[in-house]
Amino acid sequence: MLQGKVAVVTGGSRGLGRADALALARAGADVVITDILLESDRSAATTAEKYGVLSQFLQSSGAVYAEQTAAEIRTMGRRSAALRLDVTDREEVRQVMARVKEEFGSLDILVNNAATLDHTAQLENQRDDLWERDLRVNLTGTYNCCKAVWPYMKERGWGRIINMASVAGTLGGFGQASYSATKAGVLGLTRSLALEGARHNITVNAIVPGIINTEAFRLGNPKMNERMINRTAFRRPGEPEDIAGAIVFLVSDNARYITGISLNVSGGIELFTF
């Protein structure tokens, strides 16, 4: 379905990003995985420390699979690479996207998955430095990547961008002021770029995940996790593959007349459940 297309997935070393990359490859795309953490990067511990406790824990526990995922994709007969990328570094983003275009021949699909989600505190205890970090990664990082790939998609007359939002951005999240605000911003960015992209055959859509069974979710407070699960209509968390399946559809020609939407893949958490 995606034969001949080249996809970039940011934050692809684990969780949703890894599942997205594998699903795109199974659908026929060549996939470049980017992340701030790579298995072979000797400075990974220093990088993880810069981005917070969750990154530190995942790096120290070995939950980094960017290069492994790229190797797995190559066994499918697809081209793949794992590249280090800090989405907050505008020049690095430009260079990495240019490298993908040069080495793979095109850049057709972008999945903006990279995000931070470990800043949880009520307003009076929100840390100003983490508020700024979340803005840089979740919102400005998405903007940086969209802007860098835009010329290549315009030149080709075909492009698909998927921005990862969250039900925290549509419903709000108690103790998640920074995360919720950035994810709401992603939705506004998605709609604006959809308007601009339509004249160039570029679709821009957002996925709105609910409670998904990732490594980060499993590290959460069990009682809080149970409360969130019980709010969903299905009374269970989703799996990363549920998100990946929606993405494969939206980047395919089956969804060529769909743009600017916010697709809930949330198990009905936004419904009135009791």
Catalytic residues: 179
CB atoms near residue 262 (< 10 Å): 16
The CA distance from 199 to 259, in Å, is: 12
CB atoms near residue 191 (< 10 Å): 15
Tokens 């605000």 identify what position? 181
Kindly report the three-state secondary structure assignment for every residue of 24-60: HHHCCCEEEEEECCCCCCCCHHHHHHHHCHHHHHHHH
Structure tokens at 153: 């998609």
The CA distance from 89 to 111, in Å, is: 17
The CA distance from 153 to 158, in Å, is: 6
Coil, strand or helix at 187: helix
User: Residue 246 corresponds to which amino acid?
Assistant: A
Structure tokens at 188: 């506004």
With CA atoms as reference, report the closest residue to 30 among 70, 65, 77, 80.
80
With CA atoms as reference, report the closest residue to 72 among 39, 125, 15, 26.
26
Structure tokens at 219: 């590290």
